[in-house]
Amino acid sequence: MTAAEEHDEAFLTGQEGQLLLDIARDTLQEWTIRRATPPLERYELPPNLLNKHAAFVTLRNQGELRGCVGYTANTEPLAAAVRHNTVNAASKDTRFPPVEASELPDIAIEISVLTPGDTPETPFKRVRDAGEIVIGRDGLYVAQTGSKGGLLLPQVAVEEDWDRDAFLSAVCRKAGYTPNAWRDPDTRIYRFSAQVFSET
């Protein structure tokens, strides 16, 4: 079963979302047990999953965050991005130790597929006015010259019950900036939308 939150420019069907969850679950199982990943040839992939899109994979153990890693650029086919970031979320999120096989029954997977942005290479849309940001629809990415920046997915603001200003402050803190850095003209703000598919 999947639960999909479809916002503007949604392009995946529920069946395609379920297939991504199947790929992620198979990958998580094979990686934690054998340090292997399933070949994508195993699946009948529709065109949408072969097109290049950014995606994040979030793992939760009994509701608690266990890993979250993703791509912020449309650099590889969506199915491959989900497979890679399942491994990354399970083993390369520096906030957590690698997921153990014994945890598999308690792990739930969530996939956030970023929808098209201003150009074919990116899911991001430049924000010129903070009033453009819609809680529940938009995720945020902020960046200043010479720094890595920070990103929060759309569902985070809803889960935390943040308003627009609180969301902007939080993503600035995530980037290592002051909470009000989003008001600085040198801070570039981008929004993005995502289709979210979750195991239930």
Containing domain of residue 172, as a range? Answer: 125-192
Domain boundary among 81, 99, 118: 118
- The total number of residues shown for the chain amounts to 200
**Res. 2 pLDDT band, cuts 50 70 90:** very low
Q: What is the pLDDT of residue 4?
A: 37
Domain of residue 147, CATH code: 3.30.1490.150
Q: Which pair of structure tokens corresponds to residue 72?
A: 């912020």
**Predicted confidence (pLDDT) per residue in 98-114, tens digit:** 999 999 999 999 999 99
Residue 138 amino acid letter? D
d(CA 156, CA 151): 10
SS3 of 20-56: HHHHHHHHHHHHHHHCCCCCHHHCCCCHHHHCECCEE
| Owner of token pair 């935390």 | 160
Tell me: the pLDDT tens digits for 119-149? 988 999 999 999 999 999 999 999 999 998 9
- The residue type of 132 is E
**What tens digit of pLDDT does each residue of 62-88 get?**
999 999 999 989 999 999 999 999 999
Q: Which amino acid is at 173?
A: R
pLDDT the model gives residue 3: 36
How large is the average pLDDT for residues 153-172?
97
**Secondary element (H or E) of residue 84:** helix 78-91
Q: Where does a domain end: 118, 151, 181?
A: 118
| Residue 36 vs residues 10, 27, 28: alpha-carbon distances, Å | 32, 8, 9
CATH code of the domain in which 112 resides: 3.30.700.20
Structural domain contains residue 91: yes
Residue 162 structure tokens = 């943040």
Q: Residue 10 — very low, low, confident or very high, per pLDDT cuts 50/70/90?
A: confident
Quote the pLDDT of residue 116: 86
Same domain, 86 and 148: no
